[in-house]
C-alpha cells in the first residue's frame, strides 16, 4: 500500500535506507560476520570468469557489480544485456559462472540465456527480489535482495539493493580467497544508509533543481566517468522512462566523439562527479559543454565539491558512491515526470515485468 505517499515510486525511493539496513542484517551472522551460502562461495572461488546477464536497470547495476567484483574479489567479469547475449554469444572461458540480476526474476530475455547456459552445463546464480521466481528456481543458487515488493514500474530500491548484494558477494569472495581488504563493507554500507536518509530528505531542493533545469526541455544529457558513468546511464533511463524527456547517459570522455554536436544554448547536462581520479577530467567536460551554452548541473560528493556544484552528496566509500548518487537522480526523474503530468508509477508502453522476448 502507498500509505500517505502520492506514488509508489516516491515511497520506494524513501525505503532505500531501510532496505540497506535490512540487507546489512540479513547478510551477517550472530557474530556480525559477513557470511554467504557455502555453495555460492565455492562457485565464486571455482570460476575463472563471471558473466553477468541482465536487462535495463538491472544491467546498470551489473555494470557497477563488475567494477566491485573485479576490484575487490579479483575475478574478471563481463556484463551482457540479456537480449543480446542470446543471439550473439561471446566466446566463453573454461570455467564460467553466470550471474543473473533480475528484480522480478521473470524477465524472458534473461530466462532464455539461463535455459541455454544450463543446457551447456554451466553454473548459475540469480540475484533477485523474488526468491520463488522462475530465474531463481531454474538457477543453481539464489541471493535475495530483501527490498520488499517493488510496485512502481521504474525500478529504484531494487537497483540499490542489487549493488549492495553484489558488493557483499564481492567481499565474501575476497575473504574466501584470502584477499585482505582495507575497509569493512558492512560499516561502509551503514554509512551509505545514513547518507540515503540525508538524500531522501532533500526532496524540496531537488524539486527546485528539476524546475530550474528540466521543466521545459525536450532532451537532457547525463555524463560521468568510471562508476559515475554507470550511474549516468541509470539516471538517464529513469528520466526518459517516466518523464518522456529524451535523455542520454554517456562517458564524459565520449562527448567530443559525437554527442557534443547536440549541445545548444540551454541544453541540460547533468554531470556526476564522485570519483577522485576523474574529478578533474569530468569538470573539464563540463566546461566544454558550458562553453557551448549548456545548462550544467553538477552533482558531486563532499570532499570533492567545488563552489558551483548544484548538489553535493555526503561522503561514502568510493566504490559505493552509485548507491548514493542515484538517489538525487531518481528524485529528479520523479519530479520531472510529476511536473509534466505523466503517470509516474505506470509509464506508457512499459510493464513491470517483461515476460516476452
Catalytic residues: 352
330 lies in the binding site for ligand F6R (CB under 6 A): no
Span interacting with ligand F6R, options 35-43, 54-62, 218-226, 271-279, rule CB under 6 A: 54-62
16, 103, 300, 330: which one binds ligand F6R (CB under 6 A): 103
> Within positions 133 to 162, which residues make up the interface with ligand F6R, using CB under 6 A?
154-155
Q: How far is the CB of 158 from ligand F6R (least distance, A)?
A: 6
126 lies in the binding site for ligand F6R (CB under 6 A): no
124 lies in the binding site for ligand F6R (CB under 6 A): no
HEC profile of 194-215: HHHHHHHCCHHHHHHHHHHHHC
For ligand F6R, the closer CB: 125 or 301: 125
Helix ranges restricted to H, the chain: 8-14, 16-26, 38-46, 56-68, 82-87, 108-119, 134-138, 157-176, 185-200, 203-214, 227-243, 276-290, 321-339
Q: How far is the CB of 66 from ligand F6R (least distance, A)?
A: 16
# binding residues, ligand F6R (CB under 6 A): 15
> Within positions 236 to 255, which residues make up the interface with ligand F6R, using CB under 6 A?
237, 241
Residue by residue, DSSP assigns 13-65 as: HHTHHHHHHHHHHHTB-TTS-B---HHHHHHHHH-SEEEEEE-HHHHHHHHHH
- Please count the other Cβ atoms lying within 10 Å of the Cβ belonging to residue 264: 10
By the 8 A CB rule, do 90 and 49 touch? no
Q: How far is the CB of 86 from ligand F6R (least distance, A)?
A: 14
For ligand F6R, the closer CB: 99 or 282: 99
CA distance 142 to 40: 8
CA distance 30 to 35: 10
Chain residues in the site for ligand F6R (CB under 6 A) = 55-58, 102-104, 107, 110, 154-155, 237, 241, 353-354
Amino acid at each position: 500500500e502507498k500509505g500517505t505517499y502520492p506514488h509508489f515510486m516516491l515511497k520506494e525511493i524513501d525505503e532505500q535506507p531501510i532496505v540497506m539496513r535490512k540487507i546489512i542484517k540479513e547478510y551477517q551472522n550472530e557474530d556480525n560476520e559477513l557470511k554467504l551460502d557455502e555453495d555460492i562461495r565455492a562457485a565464486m572461488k571455482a570460476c575463472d570468469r563471471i558473466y553477468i546477464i541482465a536487462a535495463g536497470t538491472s544491467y546498470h547495476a551489473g555494470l557497477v557489480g563488475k567494477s566491485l567484483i573485479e576490484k575487490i574479489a579479483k575475478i574478471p567479469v563481463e556484463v551482457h544485456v540479456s537480449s543480446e547475449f542470446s543471439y550473439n554469444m561471446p566466446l566463453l572461458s573454461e570455467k564460467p559462472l553466470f550471474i543473473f540480476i533480475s528484480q522480478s526474476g521473470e524477465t524472458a530475455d534473461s530466462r532464455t540465456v539461463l535455459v541455454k547456459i544450463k543446457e551447456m552445463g554451466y553454473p548459475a546464480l540469480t540475484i533477485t527480489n523474488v526468491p520463488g521466481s522462475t530465474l531463481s528456481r531454474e538457477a543453481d543458487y539464489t541471493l535475495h535482495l530483501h527490498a520488499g515488493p517493488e510496485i512502481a514500474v521504474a525500478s529504484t530500491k531494487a537497483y540499490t539493493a542489487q549493488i549492495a548484494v553484489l558488493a557483499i558477494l564481492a567481499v565474501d569472495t575476497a575473504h574466501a580467497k584470502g584477499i585482505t581488504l582495507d575497509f569493512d563493507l558492512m560499516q561502509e554500507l551503514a554509512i551509505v544508509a545514513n547518507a540515503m536518509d540525508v538524500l531522501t530528505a532533500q526532496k524540496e531542493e531537488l524539486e527546485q533543481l528539476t524546475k530550474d533545469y528540466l521543466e521545459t526541455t525536450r532532451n537532457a544529457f547525463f555524463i560521468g566517468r568510471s562508476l559515475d558513468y554507470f550511474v549516468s546511464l541509470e539516471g538517464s533511463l529513469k528520466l526518459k522512462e517516466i518523464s518522456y524527456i529524451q535523455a542520454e547517459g554517456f562517458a564524459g570522455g565520449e562527448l567530443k566523439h559525437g554527442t557534443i554536436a547536440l549541445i545548444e544554448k540551454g541544453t541540460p547536462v547533468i554531470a556526476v562527479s564522485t570519483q577522485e581520479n576523474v574529478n578533474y577530467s569530468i569538470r573539464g567536460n563540463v566546461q566544454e559543454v558550458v562553453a557551448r551554452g549548456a545548462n550544467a548541473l553538477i552533482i558531486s560528493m563532499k570532499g570533492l565539491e567545488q563552489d558551483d556544484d548544484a548538489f553535493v552528496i555526503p561522503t561514502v566509500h568510493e566504490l559505493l558512491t552509485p548507491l548514493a548518487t542515484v538517489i538525487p537522480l531518481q528524485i529528479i526523474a520523479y519530479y520531472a515526470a510529476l511536473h509534466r503530468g505523466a503517470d509516474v508509477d505506470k509509464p506508457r508502453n512499459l510493464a513491470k515485468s517483461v515476460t516476452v522476448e
